[in-house]
């Protein structure tokens, strides 16, 4: 099972190098990232009181520690 089914998708080429278009794309990406962060913060705040049987929080943010081998 060494064969990978992963397909790498390339970024679509932008016709020309219009600085205004690039600026608008960058701004749109930043707005989407801010919206996702705000929604996540709201979700975590809404579930902050939920605990597991051992007292740990049931809903936490993940992904900030270095990747580990299992």
In this prediction, residue 61 carries a pLDDT of: 85
Q: pLDDT tens for the chain, 70 residues: list them.
A: 568 788 888 877 666 678 999 999 999 999 999 999 999 999 999 999 999 999 988 988 877 777 778 7
> Which of 40, 22, 42 has its CA nearest to residue 32?
40
Q: What predicted TM-score, i.e. pTM, was given to this entire model?
A: 0.59
Residue matched to tokens 């089914």:
5
In this prediction, residue 1 carries a pLDDT of: 56
In this prediction, residue 15 carries a pLDDT of: 62
Question: 28 vs 12, 22, 25, 34, CA distance in Å?
Answer: 16, 10, 5, 10
């Amino acid at each position: 099972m060494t064969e990978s089914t992963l397909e790498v998708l390339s970024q679509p080429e932008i016709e020309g190098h219009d600085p205004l278009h690039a600026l608008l794309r960058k701004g749109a990406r930043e707005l989407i990232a801010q919206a996702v962060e705000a929604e996540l913060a709201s979700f975590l705040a809404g579930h902050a009181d939920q605990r597991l049987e051992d007292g740990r929080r049931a809903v936490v943010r993940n992904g900030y520690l270095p990747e580990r081998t299992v």
